[in-house]
Structure 1
Protein backbone atom coordinates (compact mmCIF):
# COMPACT_ATOMS: atom_id res chain seq x y z
CA UNK A 1 0.00 0.00 0.00
CA UNK A 2 2.88 2.37 0.71
CA UNK A 3 4.13 1.81 -2.85
CA UNK A 4 0.79 3.12 -4.10
CA UNK A 5 1.34 6.26 -2.03
CA UNK A 6 4.80 6.79 -3.49
CA UNK A 7 3.62 6.27 -7.08
CA UNK A 8 0.65 8.61 -6.59
CA UNK A 9 2.93 11.20 -5.00
CA UNK A 10 5.46 11.00 -7.80
CA UNK A 11 2.83 11.30 -10.53
CA UNK A 12 0.96 14.21 -8.98
CA UNK A 13 4.21 15.99 -8.17
CA UNK A 14 5.88 15.67 -11.57
CA UNK A 15 2.65 16.83 -13.21
CA UNK A 16 3.71 20.38 -12.32
CA UNK A 17 7.14 20.19 -13.94
CA UNK A 18 5.89 20.79 -17.52
CA UNK A 19 3.97 23.88 -16.33
CA UNK A 20 7.06 25.29 -14.61
CA UNK A 21 9.13 24.68 -17.77
CA UNK A 22 6.45 26.20 -20.02
CA UNK A 23 6.18 29.35 -17.91
CA UNK A 24 9.96 29.69 -17.75
CA UNK A 25 10.37 29.25 -21.52
CA UNK A 26 7.57 31.62 -22.52
CA UNK A 27 8.14 34.06 -19.66
CA UNK A 28 4.36 34.17 -19.33
CA UNK A 29 1.98 32.89 -16.68
CA UNK A 30 -1.06 34.83 -17.87
CA UNK A 31 -3.12 31.67 -18.37
CA UNK A 32 -2.42 30.42 -14.85
CA UNK A 33 -5.25 31.23 -12.47
CA UNK A 34 -3.84 33.06 -9.46
CA UNK A 35 -6.88 32.24 -7.30
CA UNK A 36 -6.65 28.54 -8.12
CA UNK A 37 -2.94 28.36 -7.40
CA UNK A 38 -3.28 30.24 -4.11
CA UNK A 39 -6.02 27.84 -2.99
CA UNK A 40 -4.04 24.86 -4.26
CA UNK A 41 -0.90 26.01 -2.43
CA UNK A 42 -2.85 26.42 0.81
CA UNK A 43 -4.17 22.87 0.38
CA UNK A 44 -0.68 21.52 -0.25
CA UNK A 45 0.56 23.20 2.93
CA UNK A 46 -2.26 21.53 4.85
CA UNK A 47 -1.46 18.12 3.32
CA UNK A 48 2.18 18.64 4.26
CA UNK A 49 1.26 19.43 7.86
CA UNK A 50 -1.05 16.40 7.89
CA UNK A 51 1.77 14.20 6.58
CA UNK A 52 4.16 15.51 9.22
CA UNK A 53 1.65 15.03 12.04
CA UNK A 54 0.77 11.51 10.90
CA UNK A 55 4.38 10.61 10.09
CA UNK A 56 3.42 9.59 6.53
CA UNK A 57 6.62 9.95 4.53
CA UNK A 58 5.02 9.58 1.05
CA UNK A 59 2.61 12.41 1.90
CA UNK A 60 5.44 14.54 3.31
CA UNK A 61 7.79 14.00 0.36
CA UNK A 62 5.19 14.50 -2.36
CA UNK A 63 3.71 17.62 -0.80
CA UNK A 64 7.05 19.19 0.08
CA UNK A 65 8.16 18.95 -3.55
CA UNK A 66 4.74 19.96 -4.86
CA UNK A 67 4.81 22.98 -2.55
CA UNK A 68 8.18 23.99 -3.95
CA UNK A 69 6.94 23.68 -7.55
CA UNK A 70 3.74 25.54 -6.70
CA UNK A 71 5.72 28.37 -5.12
CA UNK A 72 7.90 28.57 -8.23
CA UNK A 73 4.78 28.89 -10.39
CA UNK A 74 3.40 31.59 -8.09
CA UNK A 75 6.75 33.39 -8.20
CA UNK A 76 6.67 33.31 -12.01
CA UNK A 77 3.04 34.47 -11.98
CA UNK A 78 4.09 37.65 -10.19
CA UNK A 79 7.44 38.05 -11.93
CA UNK A 80 6.02 37.83 -15.45
CA UNK A 81 2.81 39.76 -14.89
CA UNK A 82 2.21 42.68 -17.17
CA UNK A 83 1.96 45.98 -15.40
CA UNK A 84 -0.26 48.56 -17.05
Structure 2
Protein backbone atom coordinates (compact mmCIF):
# COMPACT_ATOMS: atom_id res chain seq x y z
CA UNK A 1 0.00 0.00 0.00
CA UNK A 2 1.53 3.31 -1.06
CA UNK A 3 1.76 6.38 1.19
CA UNK A 4 -1.18 8.21 -0.40
CA UNK A 5 -3.43 5.16 0.05
CA UNK A 6 -2.27 4.86 3.67
CA UNK A 7 -3.18 8.50 4.34
CA UNK A 8 -6.59 7.99 2.74
CA UNK A 9 -7.17 4.81 4.74
CA UNK A 10 -6.28 6.42 8.07
CA UNK A 11 -8.38 9.52 7.30
CA UNK A 12 -11.34 7.35 6.32
CA UNK A 13 -10.98 5.17 9.41
CA UNK A 14 -10.90 8.18 11.73
CA UNK A 15 -13.91 9.87 10.19
CA UNK A 16 -15.79 6.56 10.23
CA UNK A 17 -14.96 5.81 13.87
CA UNK A 18 -16.17 9.30 14.82
CA UNK A 19 -19.80 8.20 14.38
CA UNK A 20 -19.58 5.13 16.63
CA UNK A 21 -19.93 7.09 19.93
CA UNK A 22 -23.03 8.91 18.62
CA UNK A 23 -24.66 5.66 17.52
CA UNK A 24 -23.84 4.03 20.84
CA UNK A 25 -25.21 6.98 22.82
CA UNK A 26 -28.38 7.17 20.72
CA UNK A 27 -28.99 3.45 21.17
CA UNK A 28 -28.24 3.51 24.91
CA UNK A 29 -30.34 6.59 25.76
CA UNK A 30 -33.05 5.77 23.20
CA UNK A 31 -32.98 9.45 22.29
CA UNK A 32 -31.75 11.30 19.24
CA UNK A 33 -33.23 14.67 20.17
CA UNK A 34 -29.84 16.40 20.13
CA UNK A 35 -28.98 15.16 16.64
CA UNK A 36 -30.05 17.36 13.75
CA UNK A 37 -32.24 15.55 11.22
CA UNK A 38 -31.15 17.91 8.44
CA UNK A 39 -27.47 17.20 9.21
CA UNK A 40 -28.06 13.45 9.26
CA UNK A 41 -29.95 13.44 5.97
CA UNK A 42 -27.36 15.64 4.27
CA UNK A 43 -24.36 13.78 5.65
CA UNK A 44 -25.76 10.30 4.99
CA UNK A 45 -26.56 11.26 1.40
CA UNK A 46 -23.07 12.70 0.96
CA UNK A 47 -21.43 9.58 2.37
CA UNK A 48 -23.48 7.41 0.02
CA UNK A 49 -22.34 9.51 -2.92
CA UNK A 50 -18.70 9.22 -1.74
CA UNK A 51 -19.23 5.45 -1.69
CA UNK A 52 -20.54 5.51 -5.28
CA UNK A 53 -17.63 7.74 -6.32
CA UNK A 54 -15.14 5.31 -4.76
CA UNK A 55 -16.89 2.41 -6.48
CA UNK A 56 -16.66 4.15 -9.85
CA UNK A 57 -12.95 4.81 -9.29
CA UNK A 58 -12.36 1.35 -7.81
CA UNK A 59 -10.72 3.12 -4.84
CA UNK A 60 -10.99 0.66 -1.96
CA UNK A 61 -10.16 3.07 0.89
CA UNK A 62 -13.03 5.30 -0.27
CA UNK A 63 -15.39 2.36 -0.81
CA UNK A 64 -14.78 0.60 2.51
CA UNK A 65 -14.69 3.62 4.79
CA UNK A 66 -17.78 5.20 3.24
CA UNK A 67 -19.70 1.92 3.28
CA UNK A 68 -19.08 1.59 7.02
CA UNK A 69 -19.77 5.28 7.65
CA UNK A 70 -23.01 4.97 5.67
CA UNK A 71 -24.12 2.04 7.84
CA UNK A 72 -23.36 3.99 11.02
CA UNK A 73 -25.02 7.23 9.95
CA UNK A 74 -28.01 5.43 8.41
CA UNK A 75 -28.45 3.59 11.71
CA UNK A 76 -28.47 6.86 13.60
CA UNK A 77 -30.92 8.27 11.05
CA UNK A 78 -33.27 5.29 11.47
CA UNK A 79 -33.13 5.66 15.26
CA UNK A 80 -33.75 9.40 14.94
CA UNK A 81 -36.87 8.76 12.88
CA UNK A 82 -38.16 5.89 15.03
CA UNK A 83 -37.53 7.58 18.38
CA UNK A 84 -39.31 10.82 17.51
CA UNK A 85 -41.47 12.02 20.34
The verdict on a shared fold, with TM-score over 0.5 as the criterion, is yes
TM-score normalised over the length of structure 2: 0.94
What residue number does 1:3 align with? 6
Unaligned runs of at least 5 residues, structure 1? none
Aligned position for 2:16: 13
The residue number in structure 2 matching 1:77 is: 80
After TM superposition, the score normalised by the length of structure 1 is 0.95
CA distance in 2, matches of 1:33, 1:59: 25
1:48 is displaced (CA, Å) by: 0.5
Off by >6 Å, runs of 4+ in structure 1: none
Displacement after TM superposition at 1:25 (Å):
0.8
CA distance in 2, matches of 1:49, 1:78: 25
CA RMSD of the aligned region, Å? Answer: 0.6
- Unaligned ranges ≥5, structure 2: none
Q: 1:23-38 to 2 correspondence within 5 Å?
A: 23-38=26-41
